[in-house]
Every structure is written in C-alpha cells, then in structure tokens.
C-alpha cells in the first residue's frame, strides 16, 4: 500500500511557519509527515508545588494537514520568493511582489477564487 501525501503538504517544508485553524495558534514546522506536521510550542508550566514560579517548556504537537495553513508562501499564487507581510500585527499573511503589484494597480488578484 502506497502512502499518498495530503495536497496541502506539497508546499510545506521544515522551518515553514504554519497557522492552525483549529487551535488558532501559529508555529514553526519541526518535521513533516504525509498528512501532518510536527510543531514545537512553548507552554508555561509551574516549577514548584505552590505554582508560584513558571517556566517555558517546549512541547511538540502534531497538527493535521486539514487544519493548517502555510504562511511562508504567497497566499495568492504559492510563491516563496520576494514575500511581503500584508499586515504588521497578528498572524502573518504574506504576498509576493508580483501579486502585490497587481493589487497596487487596483486589480483584484483574488478574482476567480471560489468563495471570495
């Protein structure tokens, strides 16, 4: 039986930044699998019995391909080159220089996409 990779996993590489739509968290990919990615999140955990001191502990998590979005590529065309952040705060939404110039010319670069 041959293992087939999920379509969203085609463009995801180690080191990419992904956003989980299920948990609304943002993390960097540590490892990739055919239908999931492994990310490492920092959790606050108590260091003493009275919970008076906390420390950050890196914890690995497995996120399903259905529930993630790769934010290391252009959200319009999927390019990895010449990327710009569309917003200064929040989860980054990146767009490439070519799509940015189309947007700057007043054209809707999302025209033709279903659901928009």
Residue range 1-71 forms a domain whose CATH class is mainly beta
Helix residue ranges per DSSP H, the chain: 97-104
Residue ranges of domains in the chain: 1-71, 73-116
What is the number of other CB atoms lying within 10 angstroms of the CB of residue 68?
25
Angstrom distance (rounded) from CA 98 to CA 96 = 6
Q: Does the model's pTM come out above 0.75?
A: no
Report the b/e string of 6-38 with b at 16+ CB within 10 A: eebbeebeeebbbbbeeeeebbebeebeeebbe
What is the number of other CB atoms lying within 10 angstroms of the CB of residue 110?
13
Q: Print pLDDT tens along the chain (116 aa).
A: 788 888 889 889 999 999 999 998 989 999 999 999 999 999 888 888 777 888 999 999 999 999 999 988 988 888 888 888 887 777 778 888 888 888 777 655 455 444 44
């Amino acid at each position: 039986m041959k293992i087939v990779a999920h379509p969203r996993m085609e463009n995801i590489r180690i080191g990419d930044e992904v956003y989980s739509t299920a948990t609304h968290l943002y993390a960097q990919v540590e490892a990739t699998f055919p239908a999931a990615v492994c990310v490492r999140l920092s959790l606050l955990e108590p260091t003493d019995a009275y919970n008076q001191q906390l420390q950050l502990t890196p914890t690995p998590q497995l996120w399903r391909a259905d529930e993630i979005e790769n934010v290391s590529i252009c959200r319009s065309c999927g390019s990895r080159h010449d990327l710009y952040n569309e917003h200064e705060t929040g989860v980054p939404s990146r767009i490439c220089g070519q799509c940015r110039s189309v947007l700057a010319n007043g054209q809707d670069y999302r025209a033709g996409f279903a659901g928009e």
